Amino acid sequence: MTTVKVEPQGDVAVLRLDNGATNAISPLMLDELASAIDVIGRAHGAMVLAGNKKLFSMGFDLPAILSLSRAGMSEFFYKFNRVACQLVTLPLPTVCAMAGHAVAGGNILALTCDYRFAATGKKIGLNEVQLGVPVPYLADLLLRQIVGPRAANAMLYEGFFMNSDDAHQHGLIDEVCSQETIEERAIQKASALSALPASAFAAIKANRVEAILLQYEKYARQKNEIFLDCWFSDRAQGLLKEASRKF
């Protein structure tokens, strides 16, 4: 694999995003994430999702996907949501260790985990509205469960970034750590959870995500088409092209 790595740490697998400095989410990364998650689900007791010290992930690989046709972008967006569903439904404890910034799609990957740890001084946020697109429906549902509707509305409507401490106060982050200790702390948390009876943990997790998945599956096609309509609007295309220059 060229964009992700699986690093065994005892019974815990560290799934590391490894796609250059930005860890941008490309079509290849989605394919490799899907394969890696499947392997981890069969061979390990828990998972830590990690990136690099500068960026956990900058989100969608805009330079790579802005040239896609609507059909191509629809396929990419379907794969992204499918990987998100894989992570949400993985019947193992999952902890996201954000040693670097987590932006847009990077934040969404973090939302799919059971716990989120962030390094001091890093930024996290869903800035989609500032780029002319809605936050994907599955991520919207996850965020509202995690932080509650009032905090979620502010984050989704305004698209601002928060530092680690503010995100912790809003309930988006479970623990703020030093950059030097964050992955160790995440592995410790995942390992402690993996020591619990696996079938009981899996059943509790399935109960937590059941309503979200049923809601997503009911409206996914309609909501995803709305996302694509916004993505290909003239306003959004201009904003996205401007944002792609930062990659």
CA distances from 80 to 43, 74, 153, 204 (A): 23, 10, 23, 25
pLDDT of residue 87: 97
**SS3 assignment, position 92:** coil
pLDDT tens track for 151-206: 999 999 999 999 999 999 999 999 999 999 999 999 999 999 999 999 999 999 99
What are the structure tokens assigned to 164, written together?
A: 């680690």
Domain boundaries, the chain: 4-194
Structure tokens at 131: 């780029």
Whole-angstrom CA distances from 119 to 57, 163, 169, 184, 192 are: 14, 9, 14, 12, 20
* 200 token code pair: 């009981």
Q: Is the sign of the CA dihedral 185, 196, 202, 40 positive or negative?
A: positive
CATH number, span 4-194: 3.90.226.10
pLDDT band at 217 (very low <50, low <70, confident <90, very high): very high
Q: How far apart are CA 177 and CA 183, in angstroms?
A: 9
From first CA to last CA, the distance across the chain in angstroms is 22
- Model pLDDT for residues 82-105, shown as the tens digit of each residue: 999 999 999 999 999 999 999 999
